[in-house]
Structure 1
């Protein structure tokens, strides 16, 4: 009597984004960092629309009001500044300019640097050398010093600040992209695409760029923290964004004369900068493993063992 075997269908694999979310849930530090950054982004998007009037309203009776006075309105829970304006509301409103400058500079430098890196890594030697020498010229100047010189000659504004910081960060993405392209272009699937007659544009954007992109995203996350610190430093020096616009770095500078009797004016926005930078670094370390197919098995094994 013949025995018939019935094959059971294999369960469908979960979507990639769901697997990444599960790995993020297992890493509590990265999860807390992601939640904090989502809160910061929410404040940057909706804060000025909801609290702009409150953040600019002066109340001289509340000058340098101390923090953690729960009897007052919630916008005064972190204290008041030298003009009696609520510090918490001003920090929420200031998040928009801080995030706007950092995001604009990172996105612009990433797009330009990646495009130039793809050209330098997959074209003729002369073009590659010209692009790399241009990157060497930019890197020969300290980024913060170059920003100080340019902003001293130009009017300090959000647009000029984004352009200056983007220019100083282009070589990071350019050199990384070129190095990755030089390695990926020698792999068998790229050579097979060349043999089959695929165009250069198709090879670069369909086969090479998806391999390079996770590395660039990780670098952009780290670079976001660096650009935010650079913007805060320029605003602290007085050559960044000027009042009545406000950023966290400018708030630290405005509270400097009151450090002896109202330390919270500089401490609170400085703490926001520290926590945002720390969250970006924690999230970038997790993304470095999660977005790399070669290293992702470490998180998957940790998830299965638990």
Structure 2
């Protein structure tokens, strides 16, 4: 077994030994399963209207109640999970690729490449995230695909800064200079030595950005700039349910809870990854994990 593979397995075991991280992983796996098999799980279609059954409270027939058009809220929440995950993963994937590439080049080469790329990122970073996303959608037009592009552009400078900072701390290490001295190409240095050692903060930032991307998609859909009706979106469902909050609270509460749980899971996962990937925190966690075992062995000896 490669040492790197064994190290990542040990990291995964340490991550799952934390109850908050384990909860986050289980929630995210559940959401992924729901998103993959949404049509089989949902009791009805997302746009099956039954006006005679409108505004029904949660009960045996409709576990999450029905909305103002008689549509099953549970089905729309289940089918909306795919939209949130799709927008979040595609948008963060776009910003991850572009931002990490920019950060690698800026941090590794420095000089004018660093100045040009980072000034461009600073221009994007100067705008509040949601305002920048709204500005991009104002140019491209509303819709799920354009929301992905807008959110991806918004978080690109974040990944660029995180990657650049990590690369600056790695590029002058002894193993990098030794590889350069024996004639290793820049591409090999970047992909085999610099990037793997810069991965921990990038991984943590990815988890945190996924949480913010889910919130950004919900916010854009809430104001009518993201996913368009009749497609189900948690943010759009919040917008539709706010007018009935006194009469039918369940229309807005259940999609709101879905957003809260998913964002909480991503944040808890980010906290757990930060702890297990930071050397000092990792040492403390490993010591705390093995301490009860040592006490039990000592008691057995007695």
Common fold: TM-score over 0.5: yes
1:58-80 alpha-carbon deviations (Å, 9 max, x no partner)? 2223211112x2x32xxx11111
Task: Specify the alignment match of 2:109 in structure 1.
Answer: 123
Task: Specify the alignment match of 1:37 in structure 2.
Answer: 28
Q: Are 1:65 and 2:56 an aligned pair?
A: yes
Measured on the aligned residues, the alpha-carbon RMSD in Å equals 1.9
Task: Specify the alignment match of 1:233 in structure 2.
Answer: 219
SS in 2 for 1:54: coil
Say if 1:236 and 1:249, in contact at 8 Å, map to a contact too. Answer: yes
Task: Specify the alignment match of 1:247 in structure 2.
Answer: 233
Give the C-alpha shift of residue 227 in structure 1. 1.2
Give the C-alpha shift of residue 124 in structure 1. 4.5
The correspondence for 2:175, drawn from 183, 189, 204, is: 189
Give the C-alpha shift of residue 214 in structure 1. 1.7
SS in 2 for 1:184: coil
Task: Specify the alignment match of 1:54 in structure 2.
Answer: 45
Report how many residues are paired: 289
Q: Closer, same or farther in 2 for the Cα pair 1:274/1:207, shift >3 Å? A: same
Measure the CA separation in 2 of the matches of 1:202 and 1:175. 22
1:54-203 equivalence runs, <5 A: 54-67=45-58, 69=59, 71-72=60-61, 76-203=62-189
Q: Are 1:281 and 2:267 an aligned pair?
A: yes
1:125-178 alpha-carbon deviations (Å, 9 max, x no partner)? 011101111011111222211221222333212211111111111111111111
**Structure 1 unaligned residues grouped into runs of 5+:** 1-11
Larger radius of gyration: 1
**Structure 2 unaligned residues grouped into runs of 5+:** 293-302
Say if 1:48 and 1:96, in contact at 8 Å, map to a contact too. Answer: no
Give the C-alpha shift of residue 49 in structure 1. 5.4
Say if 1:251 and 1:265, in contact at 8 Å, map to a contact too. Answer: yes
Say if 2:47 and 2:230, in contact at 8 Å, map to a contact too. Answer: no
Give the C-alpha shift of residue 23 in structure 1. 2.1
Task: Specify the alignment match of 1:207 in structure 2.
Answer: 193
Measure the CA separation in 2 of the matches of 1:62 and 1:302. 55
TM-score, length of structure 1 as denominator length:
0.89
SS in 2 for 1:245: coil
Measure the CA separation in 2 of the matches of 1:107 and 1:298. 32
TM-score, length of structure 2 as denominator length:
0.90
1:233-266 alpha-carbon deviations (Å, 9 max, x no partner)? 1111111111122211011001011011101111
Measure the CA separation in 1 of the matches of 2:8 and 2:52. 52
The correspondence for 1:303, drawn from 289, 292, 295, is: 289
SS in 2 for 1:261: coil
Structure 1 stretches of 4+ with a deviation exceeding 6 A read: none
